[in-house]
Amino acid sequence: MTTGSRIGTWFLLAGGTALAALMLYTLSLGGPRRLPGDDGPAGTAEVAVFFPDRDDWSDFRLGITACVRKGLVDPHSEGDDRVIVATPKSDRPIRFTWYRSRGVLETREAVARLVAGPRPPVAVVGSINTALTAALAEGLRGSATAGDGPPLLVPWATSVETDDPARGPGPFRLLDLDPGRMFRFCLNNQREADLVVRCLAARPDEPVPQRVIIVADRRDPYSLDLASCFRRVIRSVAGEAEILEQPGVVGPPTLADRPAAAERRWAATIWREINREPRPTWVVLPLQAQPAARLLIALREEGADVDPTTSPLRVLCGDGFGLSTLTEFTSEAPRPFSLWCASASNGGAQWVDRDAQVPAEIVSALALGLSRGESHDRNLTGFLSGLVIPADHHAAFGRSLAFDSSGERRGADLGNVLAILPGRREILAFSHGENGAWSPPSPIASPTVLARP
């Protein structure tokens, strides 16, 4: 899920010591500046952060701030494109430097030059989508010798599979582009699809769908990958359902926020079919936030005369929506369908903004690994492979942190499902427990939207 497609949700961070407040203030100031020690003292561990836009770097800096608030790192100094912190016990400096590389080729070449330079990073963080993350992996893979090189920490690329031109026809698993050295801190698309489908299927008052309509954007690799993930899990829980693929519905990326005429015609067709044959129906929208929102608006407006309490329509999405966008669908006219979305964030709200939860977890993990000293930097990959942080650990942010042998994040407590039910105006959160059961739904507050630093 790209940050450009995410609707950022900004929460006022509460508490913290005076030192942490000072760090938050300095991190929020704009404009380039150099502070004493900006180049980093001797022994500084270099971490390269690759994002195409400053908004993404701002999210990452909020993650650093959350770690400062929690006492996981101490503030040292910062600049417009760099932040230096230190590990509390060993006082090991860590410098996070932002590299603004937007294109695939530019990103691949930039990370390759960096790793081959005189001061290579001990770790690389990035990027916001599958294409740029694959470029980083390819650049690192081409620069490494004998399996040696910095690990790649993936914050937001959720696709399970991607193409690899070096290996010919694919697709291949994204984490296999640089096997053994990639660690995905976010949930992948399969985990998100599993969460939504299995949560809805586990509801005793929900019938098994007889008809499933999947609307993917064939121009978007993320959408196609998420659609495949939804298809797999739906076949496993509703094997008798009729699955219809409708890949040509979504308008071009340049469309405005309102539905296009073709999207409205699609929504009208959905309701005609439901009125003709009112059987349990799922519409799956494995899309970025903007096209998904347009189709939801079209479904709501074209079904304005449908009784929400008897409608057989359920709409399922990935994690493209932020809370601020979901809130819009609670305050508008009645929806003749329920809406179910995956949410990658859960827990840790008292410490970190939801969009900064993964960056905070990355910083926390690096602080633990790099506090061991320079002699252990080359084994950072091994450290991350064996890392296990329970959800109640001081270094955690409301959920566990560990990886399987492929570099995918593991843990039954990861992610939850957000739902808006017909006739209801609150957003309900469903959590998946360690025992495999779903918790009773709990209402969550609407977000307080803040300006970016």
Strands (E), 35-151: 45-50, 74-79, 82-86, 93-99, 123-125
Question: Is the same domain home to 294 and 391?
Answer: no
The token pair that represents 428 in the structure block:
């309900």
Q: Can you give the pLDDT at residue 253?
A: 66
pLDDT exceeds 90 at position 311: yes
* Mean pLDDT calculated for residue range 84-108: 94
Hey, what amino acid is at 16? Answer: G
What confidence tier does 350 reach under pLDDT thresholds 50, 70, 90?
Answer: low
Distance of CA 139 to the CA centre of its chain: 23
Q: Can you give the pLDDT at residue 19?
A: 38
The token pair that represents 231 in the structure block:
């298809």
Q: What is the chain's mean pLDDT, rounded?
A: 85
Question: Is the same domain home to 30 and 140?
Answer: yes
**Window from 162-166, 406-410, 444-448 with minimum mean pLDDT:** 444-448
* Mean pLDDT calculated for residue range 152-181: 87
Hey, what amino acid is at 401? Answer: L
Distance of CA 140 to the CA centre of its chain: 22
pLDDT, tens digit (0-9, with 9 covering 90-100), for 247-299: 889 987 666 688 999 999 999 999 999 999 999 999 999 998 899 999 999 99
Residue 118 lies in a domain: yes
* Mean pLDDT calculated for residue range 433-451: 68
* Mean pLDDT calculated for residue range 138-152: 80
pLDDT exceeds 50 at position 166: yes
> How many residues does this entry show for the chain?
453
Single out the residue of 197, 200, 181, 179 nearest to residue 189, CA to CA: 197
pLDDT exceeds 90 at position 195: yes
Residue 409 lies in a domain: no
pLDDT exceeds 60 at position 4: no
Question: To which residue do tokens 């296009």 refer?
Answer: 260
Question: Is the same domain home to 171 and 48?
Answer: yes
SS (H, E, C) 298-336: HHHHHCCCCCCCCCCEEEEECCCCCHHHHHHHHHCCCCC
pLDDT exceeds 90 at position 328: no
Question: Is the same domain home to 100 and 170?
Answer: yes
Can you tell me the distance from the alpha carbon of 421 to that of 206, in angstroms, rounded to the nearest whole number? 12
Look up the domain containing 99 and give its range: 18-187+348-402
Question: Is the same domain home to 162 and 213?
Answer: no
Question: Is the same domain home to 302 and 428?
Answer: yes
The token pair that represents 311 in the structure block:
């409608």
Question: Is the same domain home to 36 and 140?
Answer: yes
Tell me, what CATH number does 140's domain have? 3.40.50.2300
Question: Is the same domain home to 306 and 438?
Answer: yes
**Window from 9-13, 86-90, 250-254, 382-386 with minimum mean pLDDT:** 9-13
Question: Is the same domain home to 425 and 294?
Answer: yes
Single out the residue of 382, 406, 387, 409 nearest to residue 148, CA to CA: 382
Residue 307 lies in a domain: yes
Can you tell me the distance from the alpha carbon of 292 to that of 1, in angstroms, rounded to the nearest whole number? 13
pTM of the model: 0.86
Of residues 367 and 43, more confidence is placed in 367
Q: Can you give the pLDDT at residue 80?
A: 94
pLDDT > 90 in the chain, percent = 62
pLDDT, tens digit (0-9, with 9 covering 90-100), for 6-53: 333 323 233 333 334 444 444 433 333 333 344 557 789 999 999 999
Question: Is the same domain home to 42 and 114?
Answer: yes
Question: Is the same domain home to 154 and 295?
Answer: no
